Amino acid sequence: MASMADLFQTADWKSEKHVPVIECPDTVEKDTFFDVTVSLGKEISHPNTSDHHIRWIQLYFKPSKGKFAYQVGSFRFDAHGEGVKGADTGPIYTDHVVSTRIKVRESGVLLATAFCNIHGFWESEHEIHIAE
C-alpha cells in the first residue's frame, strides 16, 4: 500500500526545475518576523503554459521538538495562459513564486511542497535555528 510520502520526489534544486527552493535566513531571532520566499525553477526555468505548469505550493513548519508540522500557507497558481481562443492565448500568467513573513518560537524545519500538473509532487526543506 502506498503512502503520501511515496508520492513526493526530491532532488537538488540546482539541477531539477520542479524542486521548491526555500529562501530565508538559517538563523533567526525568537518571536521576530522574517521573510520566506518559495519558488520553483530558480536555476532551470519551469514552464508556465496551459499544458505544463505548477498548480500550487504549500509551506509548513515543523518544530524540532514537536511531532507535528503546522501549515504556514497554501498558494495556488491559476493563470497559465488559458484564453477564449484556446491554450496559451490568454492575457495573464502567474509566476510560481510566493513570499510571506513568519516568526517562530523554536528551531525547526520549513518544508515546502509543490505540484506540477505533469510531473507530480515535489518537496524540499530548510532548517531554521533560533539565535542564542
Residue 80 bears catalytic tag: no
Residue 119 bears catalytic tag: yes
115-124 pLDDT, tens digit per residue, is 999 999 999 9
For the chain, strand residue ranges (E) read: 8-9, 21-23, 27-28, 34-39, 54-63, 70-76, 97-102, 108-116, 120-130
Read off the amino acid at residue 127: E
CATH architecture of the domain with range 4-130: Sandwich (2.60)
Distance between CA atoms of residues 11 and 85, nearest Å = 37
Residue 46 bears catalytic tag: yes
45-100 pLDDT, tens digit per residue, is 888 999 999 999 999 999 999 999 999 999 999 999 999 999 999 999 999 999 99
Which of 14, 52, 103, 106 does the annotation list as catalytic? 52
Residue 62 bears catalytic tag: no
Residue 126 bears catalytic tag: no
Write the Ramachandran bin of 64: left for phi over 0, alpha for psi from -120 to 50, otherwise beta. Answer: alpha
